[in-house]
């Protein structure tokens, strides 16, 4: 039996174990998927030995990079890893399948150019920014603290909201169990011209999306992205190629 897993902290919201357990049962695969809730990335050394591959989530998508023997060109460009393959020598090889999921999720909406507001600066946000720039979008990054190339939430005016077509939540705000939370935005400025994309998949509709829908905006949950990145991870773990 092969063993796979997910490292991150916290993991109470995660559906990864259920997803892969169902997949293994449905496809008669002799494998097991386990959640490893580790607050510090240094704990990886005591886990990786028994794994054939693992996913990486908050807050370790960037912190895991120094532990890798190789990193795929796309993951290196993004600066974040969410999928790791362990070879026969125990060496770790990093990839980014978040980008795969983001591309697939946004494809039906024919996004080409324009401006986007990206909430968050973590590993998932890095993948979003990479894909949106591929699509020719100008990306305005938002965080709790302003910095070089980053504005803070208090800088988001109604005028700014009106100037963008896409708003992506790549933060954990609104994720289970804190479902009564939403990013601080002037939601009254939203209309049917806006698209709101939340990477959170638990719950299926966050308060962020509900507030957008109430204003007539098109809303996209994170379920498709979650499934697509999971399947892309499975392909990597079972491929014979390093990249």
DSSP symbol at 97: -
- The answer to whether 61 is a known catalytic residue is yes
What is the token pair recorded at 211? 């507030």
Going by pLDDT thresholds of 50, 70 and 90, the confidence category of residue 243 is: very low
At 123-180, the pLDDT tens digits run 999 999 999 999 999 999 999 999 899 999 999 999 999 999 999 999 999 999 999 9
What are the pLDDT digits (tens) for 24-81?
Answer: 999 999 999 999 999 999 999 999 989 999 999 999 999 999 999 999 999 999 999 9
The answer to whether the beta carbons of residues 24 and 32 sit under 8 Å apart is yes
Residue whose entry in the numeric block shows the structure tokens 């895991």: 64
Rounded alpha-carbon distances, angstroms, from residue 51 to 5, 27, 79, 224, 241: 7, 20, 23, 26, 18
Catalytic annotation, pick one of 2, 23, 48, 61: 61
Tokens representing 24 are 């293994």
Residue 231: which of 32, 83, 92 has the closest Cα? 83
Give the C-alpha separation, 168 to 118, whole Å: 5
pTM: 0.93
Q: Is 90 left (phi over 0), alpha (psi -120 to 50) or beta?
A: left
């Amino acid at each position: 039996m092969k063993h796979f897993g997910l490292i991150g902290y916290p993991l109470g919201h995660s559906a990864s174990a259920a997803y892969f357990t169902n997949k293994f049962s449905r496809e008669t695969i002799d494998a097991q998927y386990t959640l490893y809730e580790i607050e510090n990335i240094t704990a990886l050394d005591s886990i990786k030995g028994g794994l054939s591959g693992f996913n990486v989530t908050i807050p370790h998508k960037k912190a895991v990079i120094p532990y890798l023997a190789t990193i795929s060109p796309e993951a290196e460009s993004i600066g974040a890893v969410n999928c790791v393959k362990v070879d026969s020598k125990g060496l770790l090889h990093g990839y980014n399948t978040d980008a795969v999921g983001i591309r697939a999720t946004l494809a039906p909406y024919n996004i080409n150019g324009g401006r986007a507001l990206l909430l968050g600066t973590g590993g998932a946000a890095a993948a979003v920014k990479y894909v949106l720039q591929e699509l020719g979008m100008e990306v305005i990054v938002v965080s709790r603290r302003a910095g070089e190339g980053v504005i803070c939430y208090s800088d988001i005016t109604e005028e700014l909201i009106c100037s963008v077509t896409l708003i992506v939540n790549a933060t954990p705000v609104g994720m289970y169990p804190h479902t009564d939370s939403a990013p601080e935005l002037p939601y009254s400025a939203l209309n049917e011209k806006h698209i709101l994309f939340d990477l959170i998949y638990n719950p299926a509709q966050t308060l962020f999306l509900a507030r957008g829908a109430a204003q007539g905006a098109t809303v996209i949950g994170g379920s498709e992205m979650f499934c697509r990145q999971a399947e892309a991870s499975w392909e990597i773990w079972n491929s014979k190629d390093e990249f």
